[in-house]
Amino acid sequence: MDEENKDVIRRVYDLLAEGKLAEVMELFAPDAVWSMPGQNALTGEWRGRDAIMNELLPKIAEFSGSTFRATLIDVADGGEHSFALRRSQAERDGQSIDYLLCDVLRIEDGLIRSIQTYPWDARAQDAFWR
- Residues 108-123: what's their mean pLDDT? 94
In terms of residue numbers, what domain contains 48? 3-128
Question: What is the reported pTM?
Answer: 0.89
Q: What is the pLDDT of residue 5?
A: 85
Where residue 87 falls among pLDDT bands split at 50, 70, 90? very high
Q: Structurally, how many domains does the chain consist of? A: 1
Q: pLDDT value at position 4?
A: 83
Mean pLDDT on 59-82: 90
Confidence check: pLDDT of 1 > 70: no
Q: What is the side-by-side order of every strand in the sheet holding 95-108?
A: 44-47, 28-36, 111-119, 95-108, 82-92, 69-77
Q: What is the distance between the alpha carbons of residues 65 and 105, in angstroms, rounded to a whole number?
A: 27
- Please determine, for residue 47, whether its predicted confidence score (pLDDT) is greater than 80: yes
Can you give the pLDDT at residue 130? Answer: 87
The CATH number linked to 52 is 3.10.450.50
The mean pLDDT of 99-104, rounded to a whole number, is 95
Comparing CA positions, the residue from 88, 92, 95 lying closest to residue 121 is 88
pLDDT, one tens digit per residue, over 7-46 is 899 999 999 888 898 999 999 999 999 999 999 999 999 9
pLDDT of residue 80: 84
| Burial classification of residue 80, based on how many CB atoms lie within 10 Å of its CB (0-12 exposed, 13-18 middle, 19 or more buried) | exposed
